[in-house]
Structure formats: C-alpha cells, structure tokens
Homo-oligomer: A and B are copies of this chain.
C-alpha cells in the first residue's frame, strides 16, 4: 500500500558545462558578505578557486579552508560558525564535494544559533533558521546538493551524526560535470558506490510502489552503465554528467515517496566505520552492502531481491526466487569490485579488534526497532555483518 508523504525540495539546480558563470546573479539577492568554504586545496590546483574569486569580486569574501573528508565538528564547524558571527556573514558559498557542503550546512545553522551548535546537530534544540547556502559541486556522490542533510563527525566521541532539517536545503546548487573530470578513479568509484547505496537503502522497504521502484532501478542502471566509462575516461562528459545527475537524487526523498521507512541501516553501520577509522564513506558502503543484503535475505524480503535482480540485472525470472536473490547479491558485489572498490574491511585498514565496540555504538541508534527499520538488527547481528565484511 502506498504510504502518505509530504514532499518539498525547494533547491534550484543549475546543471551543465559553464553554468557557474551565473554565480553572481544567484548570490546577489542573498546579501554582500560571503563565507567561502572549501577543502584541501584541490580547487586551487584546478583553477576553480581563481574562477570563483573572479566571479565574486563584488562581494566581501571570508574564507574557511581545510574542511576534511568526513567533516569534523571540531575544528571545522566551530571555526565556520565563529567566522560567520565575527564577520556578520550573509550567505555561505560551498565549493567542493559533499563533505564541504555538509560542513557548510552545519555552519549555516550554527551561525543563527546562540548556543553550542552540537545541540542542533543532535536535535537537542530545534533548528529555527540558517544562513542561505549556495554550492558548486566538484564531486558526484552524496546528493547533499539537493537535500536537507549533512553528516558531521565528532572525533573525541567517535560520533558520526546525520543532521537533517528543512532549513538546510541549499538555495542553489551548481553542478558542472567538467569539475569532476579531475576526480581520481578511487574517489569516482567511491562516489558511485555512495549513490548506489543511497538508492538501495530506499529500495529495501516493506511497502513500496511502482513509481519509486522504477525511479530507483533507473538510477542504479545509469550508475552501472556509466561508472566504468567515467573511470576509464575521466573527461567523458556524458558519463560524468549522467553520474552527477543520478547522484543528485540520492537523498532528497524523491526515491522513497510513498514507501514505508527503510531506516538506512547500511549508512548507520558505515558511519561507525568512518567515525572510528576515518575511511572513505563510499568504500565502507561498498563493503557493507553485499553482506547486509545477504544477512537480511529471507522469505519475507525475497520479493525485493527478485524485483531488483530481474529488473536491474536482467536475471531470468524463471529461476527459483532464492537463486535470483543470490545472483542479485553476487552481481552487486561484482559491480563494486569491477570498478576497483576494496571489498574487505582489512583492505581499508580495519580488523576485528574494535568490531564489538562499533556494533555497540551502532546498536545505540535503534537498529533493532522494527517500526522504522525494514529489517531490525540486534547488536550481535551488526557485529556479524561487520565480521562477514572483514
């Protein structure tokens, strides 16, 4: 049965080669003082930084650089909030990948709050306002450019928290696929795995519908089709463009309209891996995904595997359903492997030593609650999935 939904994605997306030239027109109505956020300096090597500075000559620019992958509450969010308050910033311009944008979202909310921004991130205090955010994406992966969420890590407590609030939708996202030409094979594949997983998280739910299923299968098919080209030919515009376009739908809810909650269990598990070991999110997801799929396969979930296997991978519908399901998991594993992703935790420096600790941390997020998780997972089951991923 199709479920009720309430959907609203007010972000404007300007997509294509050269669109960043429209930046001044988009920023102008938002004010004068801009916090420019970016990461480790790759935008200086590619020339995008210089282009942005050129395009924003009429604005007052304050910079926050060095935002980390798996962006950190301390120092990045705290530093950004301080800068916004000191300089009476009107808007944030995020230039980079999902990490820079996620961090910028937390800064945008923190800048409009008098207390400790962590209160907002963990929903101790309701977010009532945020600075407007405009972004220029340089990586296709997280979907942060078209959603209202961000993921923030707090090193001292090994927390990696998803922070979602309607005030965090970017006002406008510029998606120019040519800015992803310089993304290396490792991060291209990790971005594809991230997007692939976003879709799967939403596909696996108890109540689904034809529209949502078809949209999900379309995006997965597109990623499978274009990922090898984007990796082999990094400057293939069509491949980069279709991947960037696919990624933008990952997390804004459009893929699960009318569905019952899936609970995003693989993300809950992966966030602990990234929090404890600071690994690349998409790589962690690629490793977890097939093991989670195998773990939840049962008579109750079988239909989802058969639907995915026959519609996405073209597996013969006449095979026994359990055989289709097994092939579906295998095909998913092989796809990730084929684009060069590590498929074992040991390959990314994770051994068994902290599995129980991580499982305990993950379980605290309520993965055992069948009301909001497609398949409830106990702490022991989470540990088993992690062990199977070694």
Contacts and interface: CB of A to CB of B under 8 A. Distances in A.
B15 A4 contact: yes
Interface string A15-55: 11111000000000000000000000000000000000000
A382 interface: no
Question: Which of A9, A214, A217 lies at the interface centre, i.e. has the most chain B CB atoms within 10 A of its CB?
Answer: A214
B242 A211 contact: yes
Given A6-B14, A7-B15, A214 B218 contact: yes
A2 B5 CA distance: 31
Interface string A195-212: 000000000000001110
Interface stretch (A103-111, A219-227, A263-271, A344-352): A219-227
Interface residues on A, range: 35 or more
Contacts of A80: none
Contact of A241 (B12, B13, B19, B258): B258
Contacts of A209: 238, 241-242, 245
A333 interface: no
A385 B226 CA distance: 39
A165 to B, nearest CB: 15
Contact of A12 (B7, B215, B222, B225): B7
B221 A214 contact: yes
A3 interface: yes
A257 B245 contact: yes
Given A6-B15, A211-B218, A217-B214, A258 B245 contact: yes
A246 interface: yes
A8 interface: yes
A370 interface: no
A176 to B, nearest CB: 9
Interface of A: 1-19, 209-211, 213-215, 217-219, 221-222, 225-226, 237-238, 241-242, 245-246, 257-258
